Amino acid sequence: MMNRDEVKGITRELTVQVMILGACVTLMWILEILDQILPYSLDQYGILPRTAIGLRGIPFAPFLHGGFRHLFSNTVPFLILGWLVMLRRTSDFFAVSLLAILIGGFGTWLFGSPGYHIGASGVIFGYLGFLMLRGYFERSFFSMLFSVVVAFFYGGLLWGVVPNQLGISWEGHLFGFLGGVVAAKLLARKR
């Protein structure tokens, strides 16, 4: 049975996690609202492959979306998978996000198809890669079971890393996923 201090600690940690995820999603929604009402498109701050100006899109692209439908389709998995990344340590969220943004962004910049690449899906795929491969790198029963459960519920997303739909940045998905795999390797707790 948990004592009062343990309950307070869990409540405090959960509050911090909700605030972090809420701030990220709020920023995405504010930017999309601005994108809809401003006389110019914020999407120009996305990743434009193999151009010097396209490099600036690496940190900005995950917060920009191609309309409310695109944003909504990224919001729910961002919240769920982002929170699952935080379950063990809230700090994992920042490390995985950063690696997914950097590896996903540079990979997209190097190999992406022409046009602006925007959206949080590369980061979402980073979370997926982290959660699915953490068990492999840690080799603990709980981590492997957790990875299998995530793969069962979200493994269908992996079709997003192959070029199967026009206008979808499969490159961002693929390299974001690889960023999550790198994060799983670097953050693994060895037994």
Share of the chain above pLDDT 90, in %: 83
- Whether this model's pTM surpasses 0.75: yes
| CB burial string 165-183: b at 16+ within 10 A, e below | eeeebbbbbbbbbbbbbbb
What are the C-alpha distances in Å from 123 to residues 91, 99, 128? 16, 9, 9
pLDDT of 2 strictly over 80: no
| pLDDT band, very low/low/confident/very high, at 191 (cuts 50, 70, 90) | low
- Averaged over 187-191, what is the pLDDT? 77
Domains identified in the chain, total number:
1
- Averaged over 50-72, what is the pLDDT? 97
Domain that holds residue 166: 4-187
Mean pLDDT of the chain: 94
* Domain CATH code at residue 166: 1.20.1540.10
| Cβ atoms of residues 108 and 175 within 8 Å | yes
25 CB-side CA count, 13 A: 21
Cα–Cα distance for residue pair 139/67, rounded to 1 Å: 41
